């Protein structure tokens, strides 16, 4: 990967021999990603950024200014959303195993809630009889479920949502205003999304008062051009599908989407510095001034987290002819504190700058206190 000119200029502008690790975001990229979803042709829609991907108030404000709403799965994120000005129906809350206390908190705000089970539905209806509610659905195994980064979100191996049988058994279906589905994360296969959505639509036939279909997120984030989510194909297919549903229902059904990763993934970079070099047989071990608890995708998903790497030396990209197998490790004693185990990089020196790309989603937001390294600063360009 080559960092673009703006990012490089910013890194150079810091002009310090040593610096603490930090994140940088290209704001225009975040805005553009918001717009691609806002531009989906189907008119009756609402796009809600999934705040677990990045809950920094600055990030949320950018999204809000682009007229994208928000989805949260916890009270902390709900409060962060409200602090930057989201309110009422701008906010969707979808989670699981909510306590009575949490439900009361949500119920007293006019936000949208999707519950995860028959017991949760019962609890909600006892607390707030007649108040609008949606249900999270597990569409079962009619579509062969993909196991994505974080496991299964549909099918018999998923813990989430009402099963088809539980959906069938809902006594008064007229009380349900919306159906929610989340098929998995980082998916590029448009037909997979559409086939899953069709299963939800099949269920929707039983709900006479249905107002919305929430298809969740899961849109793949390109690793700097390596792979692209085909938003134009998605647009055509999801719009056709929604037009068809609305026609069959005889009323306009709202489309709700909850994109997370794709909004900020490629906009973000994690920047750190080489503080140690350990030559080994046919390999270099490179220590940096950061820990994976500060940039935790490689820690949480060591098998699949592949973040493109650029090296900066003397203010410019450093690309030497000869590359060698490289492990980049964090500055702790934790044996798994490893950013990358299989990179092919030029021979590095102490003081070189390492920039990891595709670090704008699920990165800063998953900082951990474990091991004792501070939350890195985040800069928006
Ligand atoms: C219900 C729900 N919606 C949306 C998202 C965002 O998903 P993604 O970042 O894959 O787009 C998540 C992520 O876990 C989720 O659980």
Identify the CATH homologous superfamily for domain 5-24+265-380: Lyase, Ornithine Decarboxylase; Chain A, domain 1 (2.40.37.10)
pLDDT at 159: 84
Q: Choose which residue among 158, 182, 183, 222 to substitute to test ligand 1 binding: the one with the highest number of ligand atoms within 8 A of its C-beta.
A: 182
pLDDT at 147: 65
Going by CA atoms, what residue is nearest to atom 5 of ligand 1? Answer: 217
- CATH architecture for the domain at 27-263: Alpha-Beta Barrel (3.20)
What atom of ligand 1 comes closest to residue 148's alpha carbon?
10
Q: Is 260 in the pocket of ligand 1 (CB under 6 A)?
A: yes
Give the chain as a 3 state SS string. Answer: CCCCHHHHHHHHHHCCCCCCCEEEECHHHHHHHHHHHHCCCCCCEEEEEEHHHCCCHHHHHHHHHCCCEEEECCHHHHHHHHHCCCCHHHEEEECCCCCHHHHHHHHCCCCEEEECCHHHHHHHHHHCCCCCEEEEECCCCCCCCCCECCECCCCCCCCCCECHHHHHCCCCHHHEEEEECCCCCCECCHHHHHHHHHHHHHHHCCCCCCCEEECCCCECCCCCCCCCCCHHHHHHHHHHHHHHHHHHHCCCCEEEECCCHHHHHHHEEEEEEEEEEEEECCEEEEEECCCCCCCCHHHHCCCCCCCCEEEEECCEECCCCCEEEEEEECCCCCCCCEEEEEEEEECCCCCCEEEECCCCCCCHHHCCCCCCCCCCEEEEC
Going by CA atoms, what residue is nearest to atom 3 of ligand 1? Answer: 216
Residues with pLDDT less than 50, the chain: none
pLDDT at 272: 98
pLDDT at 241: 98
What's the gap in Å between 186 CA and the centre of ligand 1? 9
Query: pTM of the full predicted structure?
Result: 0.96
What's the gap in Å between 366 CA and the centre of ligand 1? 14
Q: Is 178 in the pocket of ligand 1 (CB under 6 A)?
A: no
Range list for CATH 2.40.37.10 in the chain: 5-24+265-380
What's the gap in Å between 356 CA and the centre of ligand 1? 23
Range list for CATH 3.20.20.10 in the chain: 27-263
């Amino acid at each position: 990967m080559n960092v673009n000119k703006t990012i490089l200029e910013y890194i150079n502008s810091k002009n310090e021999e040593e610096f603490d690790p930090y994140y940088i975001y290209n704001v225009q990229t975040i805005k553009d990603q918001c717009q691609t979803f806002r531009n989906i042709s189907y008119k009756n829609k609402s796009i809600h950024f999934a705040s677990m991907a990045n809950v920094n108030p600055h990030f949320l404000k950018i999204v809000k200014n682009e007229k994208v709403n928000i989805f949260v799965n916890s009270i902390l994120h709900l409060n962060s959303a409200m602090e930057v000005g989201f309110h009422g129906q701008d906010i969707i809350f979808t989670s699981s195993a909510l306590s009575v206390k949490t439900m009361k908190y949500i119920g007293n705000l006019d936000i949208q809630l999707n519950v995860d089970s028959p017991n949760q539905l019962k609890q909600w209806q006892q607390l707030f009889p007649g108040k609008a509610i949606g249900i999270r659905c597990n569409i079962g195994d009619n579509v062969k479920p993909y196991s994505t980064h974080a496991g299964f979100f549909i099918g018999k191996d998923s813990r989430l949502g009402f099963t088809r049988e539980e959906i069938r058994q809902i006594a008064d279906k007229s009380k349900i205003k919306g159906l929610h589905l989340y098929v998995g994360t980082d998916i590029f296969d448009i037909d997979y999304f559409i086939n899953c959505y069709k299963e939800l639509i099949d269920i929707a036939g039983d709900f006479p008062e249905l107002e919305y279909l929430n298809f969740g997120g899961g849109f793949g984030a390109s690793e700097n051009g390596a792979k692209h989510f085909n938003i134009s194909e998605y647009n055509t297919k999801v719009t056709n599908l929604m037009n068809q549903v609305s026609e069959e229902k005889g009323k306009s059904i709202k489309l709700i989407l909850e994109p997370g990763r794709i909004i900020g993934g490629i906009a973000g970079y994690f920047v750190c510095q080489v503080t140690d070099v350990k030559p080994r047989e046919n390999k270099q071990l490179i220590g940096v001034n950061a820990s994976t608890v500060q940039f935790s995708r490689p820690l949480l998903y060591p098998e699949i987290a592949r973040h493109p790497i650029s090296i900066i030396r003397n203010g410019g990209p450093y690309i030497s002819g000869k590359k060698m197998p490289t492990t980049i490790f964090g500055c702790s004693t934790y044996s798994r504190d490893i950013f990358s185990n299989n990179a092919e990089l030029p021979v590095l020196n102490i003081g070189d700058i390492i920039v990891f790309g595709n670090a704008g989603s699920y990165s800063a937001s998953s900082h951990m206190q474990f091991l004792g390294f501070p939350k890195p600063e985040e800069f928006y360009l």
